[in-house]
Structure 1
Amino acid sequence: MTKRIIIIGLAAAVVVLFLLLLMGISHRVAPASQQGVDPRYLRTAVHYGNKNTSPYGGKAAFSLLDKYFNGRAPRLTTRPFTHTYRKTKSLEGSNSVYIAVASRLYITEQDAVDMSAFVAAGNQLFLAVESTDSLLENTFGFSTTESTWEILPASAVQRFVNPAFSPDTVFSGKGIPMNSHLVLEDSDSAVITVLGNNAKHQPNFFRIQHGDGQLFVLLNPMTWTNSWLLENDNVQSLTWQMAYLRMHADHVYWDEFYKYQKVRRTSDNFSDMQVMLKHPPLRWALWLALLLVALYIFSESKRRQRIIPAMPVLRNNSIDFAETLGRLYYLHHNNTNLAQKMAQHLLEYIRQHYFLNTAQINAEFISGLARKSGHPREFIEGMMQMVVEVRLGGDVDDEYLHTFYNSIYQFYQKTK
């Protein structure tokens, strides 16, 4: 009981320390550049997760996607693109849409190769990111500038330049301004189509024709956040973005991997452990569980009681029974009763072990018992003669009882 109380106390202390640590992190004083700023302008709050309901979460956008694809809900992917591409047969077709929303896109060389093959086959890849990866740019032949972060709060703006849209093509709302833009060369006009601009009228939404498919890059993922979409009529901007994608796509995928990547991966290998470690809550839960297991093993390494010795097997044979019965009746000195009990036990033993009928003790019985037990006929005949005399109730003195006992004991010794 004492050890159990200690274990519970240690576990409670670890949980309390863990909660205090989380509270300390969440209440940490913001940098001077962020003090007094509306929480919706803090970059630390950017998440883009499909289940995140915070201002910079992506739940609103994710819940609206099915209506743009004839009611087909997007399928979640939590692995790198190359893993999904090589493990999912549907991505090998030519009518799929893959959507990724992230702060920055960190891919490997194999990711870039597979993205190129995916688009060239006739599929559509839609990336809403603040800044792209150099591997992606080299693969698809374009270049962008890095985002210039605004210190003071300002509106997040997105413009569309397609003449088919209505004249009012400017959408704005509270959020973080994202000023990354495409560096457009004269030679790019054949394969790159500008679809939208940022607040400075620089191209930040464009389409690249690659093989039989298209790559769409939106350098303003703020337009995919809950706060921005729910303000004014900004949801229309998402509708116009999705108008470029195939509403009759066979498969639609929503990426839940790249938004959590803070640095470039050094390998294309990816395990379930990496999925847990890339999410801070899961990572903390894993380390806490390992710590509790270690505490339990440490406290329970010693046994709570001494080893219980093995109990010896109880002996229960005919000799021990006869000896015990003999000592019991010898104390009362009732030789006749004791001899009868010995005779009764002997006959029961013969019935169970030699399967002989003891109702009549005759020559045939004596011959059968001698043959089965291996005793000489003369010995069996003498012993059974005493059995008959005892059963008739004659007087049994000590000497007769001793002779009868020795005869039975010798019989058991050879046949036990």
Structure 2
Amino acid sequence: MKSTKTYLIILVVTIVGFVLVEMYRPEPTDWSQTFSDKDKIPYGSELLYKLLTDVFPNQKITDSKVPFYSRGVEKPYPGKSNYLYVYQVFRTDSIGLNRLMNYVSSGNQAFIAAEGFEKLGDSLHIETDYAIMKKLTDSLSLSFSNPQLGKTAYPMTLQSAAVSFSLKDSSKVTVLGRNSAGNINFIRIPFGKGFFYLHSVPAAFTNYYLVKGKNAEYAFRALSYLPVQETHWDEFVNIIHLNMKMRQIGKSRSYVSSPDYDDSPLRFIVSQPALRWAYYLSIFGLFLYVVFEAKRRQRIIPLIEAPANASLEFVETIGQLYFKSNNHKNIAGKKISHFLAFIRTKFFIRTIELDQDFRNELSIKSGVGITEIDEIFDQIDKVSVSEKLTEKELLTLNERIEGFYKNSK
């Protein structure tokens, strides 16, 4: 018992020490491109979400985590509003796409910043592609086409800003911005009574670039194209894709796909490296304790002998009772009944009439000679008609029946 307490103390001290080391260790920068309005990491969008109250003063800003197509059949949102989406790829199904198109067509505005637009791009006849640079460079800058917004260039890395639009039909497209290579990265497309504002550089709206130089001004001016009205930030379209991406690269972080964030204690514990390892070590320690302690303290299970098969002794006892009572006729009758039952079961021959046809069929199926068969059934006929049976006749009948059992195939 004393040694067990020692082991437990060592285990607890080890776990506590590991947790303290992990808690006070500097956390490395997370460069995951989440674009989430809850994230303060470089490629999160917490600053942009907070900026919306300045872009749309005195307007309701909602953070939506339900599917776009679940917000109503005729009107996804009541009244006129803006739909805002920032992520690496705009991905939705045909139902969500139809609702979005109806939403914009009815006079609402949609601002979508993504490097790929999938089904929406097919519907609006636009594509995105990486810019082809005429000279080697590691950076690009973004600027607006509207001179009223100034000619300021907002620098970004080549990796973040290289995606631009390739227009299949430019007749209805208004170019709002380009990069320093002359490629289009910001456009407006009329659709029904509303407009689609599409931007091919979502990184420009992340925390990393909003804190660099005047880049926050760029995001503010890009969003200023939207009318000042109720605005809905949508994260549901990318949230399932982001969960899959995090699992593929081995990240422990989880982004919910349900309407609300799951703030359960276990989810928080698993999301923190120090707490997660402490949780795993605790479970592993408890498992070892149960395995070894249960093995040492388990009481010995007594051996229980299986019940003996006394069938043979029972048969011998009953046989002796019959034999001592000299009731040979009764014993012979039971022997004959058992013999006939054996024939019916093994050879599938009816035993109602024990005539010559029956004997011939039994000889053929059993492989026993017809002479031996006749001797057995002649003896059975003799026993059947006699009132008493001597011990010798009983033994003769038994020998012939046992010989049949032995010789039959």
TM superposition score normalised by structure 2: 0.53
What is the distance in 1 between the residues matched to 2:137 and 2:171?
34
Match of 1:102 among 87, 102, 106: 87
Report deviation, 1:111: 3.7
User: 3-state SS of the aligned residue for 1:209?
Assistant: strand
2:102 matches 1:117? yes
Q: How many residues align?
A: 278
TM superposition score normalised by structure 1: 0.52
What is the distance in 2 between the residues matched to 1:116 and 1:124?
10
Unpaired segments of 5 or more residues in structure 2? 247-255, 299-409
Match of 1:134 among 113, 118, 126: 118
Matches within 5 A, 1:25-40: 26=28
Partner of 2:53: 66
What is the distance in 1 between the residues matched to 2:135 and 2:8?
54
Partner of 1:179: 162
Match of 2:202 among 204, 212, 221: 221
What is the distance in 2 between the residues matched to 1:97 and 1:264?
28
How much is the aligned-residue C-alpha RMSD, in angstroms?
A: 4.8
Equivalent residue letter for 1:139: S
Residues 17-62 of structure 1 show CA distances to partners (whole Å, capped at 9, x for unaligned) of 9789x98x959xxxxxxxxxxxxxxx94655443544554433322
User: 3-state SS of the aligned residue for 1:235?
Assistant: helix
Note closer, same or farther for the CA distance 1:297–1:85 as it changes in structure 2 (3 Å cut).
Answer: farther
2:185 matches 1:200? no
What is the distance in 2 between the residues matched to 1:233 and 1:132?
26
- Cα pair 1:181 1:204 within 8 Å, conserved: yes
What is the distance in 1 between the residues matched to 2:260 and 2:138?
40
What is the distance in 1 between the residues matched to 2:41 and 2:278?
28
- Cα pair 2:131 2:183 within 8 Å, conserved: no
Report deviation, 1:143: 1.9
Residues 187-216 of structure 1 show CA distances to partners (whole Å, capped at 9, x for unaligned) of 4423x3221112221211112222333221
Task: Provide the identity percentage.
Answer: 20
What is the distance in 1 between the residues matched to 2:268 and 2:88?
15
Unpaired segments of 5 or more residues in structure 1? 28-42, 308-416
Note closer, same or farther for the CA distance 1:88–1:180 as it changes in structure 2 (3 Å cut).
Answer: same
Equivalent residue letter for 1:291: Y
User: 3-state SS of the aligned residue for 1:144?
Assistant: strand
Report deviation, 1:179: 2.2
- Cα pair 2:144 2:176 within 8 Å, conserved: yes
Report deviation, 1:245: 0.9
Which stretch of the first structure deviates more once superposed, 97-106 or 277-286?
Answer: 277-286
- Cα pair 1:157 1:199 within 8 Å, conserved: yes
What is the distance in 1 between the residues matched to 2:212 and 2:113?
19
Report deviation, 1:69: 1.3
Note closer, same or farther for the CA distance 1:230–1:10 as it changes in structure 2 (3 Å cut).
Answer: closer
Report deviation, 1:219: 0.8
- Cα pair 2:131 2:163 within 8 Å, conserved: yes
Report deviation, 1:153: 6.7
- Cα pair 1:158 1:220 within 8 Å, conserved: no
Note closer, same or farther for the CA distance 1:256–1:119 as it changes in structure 2 (3 Å cut).
Answer: same
Note closer, same or farther for the CA distance 1:68–1:271 as it changes in structure 2 (3 Å cut).
Answer: closer
- Cα pair 2:35 2:43 within 8 Å, conserved: yes
Match of 2:12 among 8, 11, 17: 8
Note closer, same or farther for the CA distance 1:3–1:47 as it changes in structure 2 (3 Å cut).
Answer: same
2:230 matches 1:250? yes
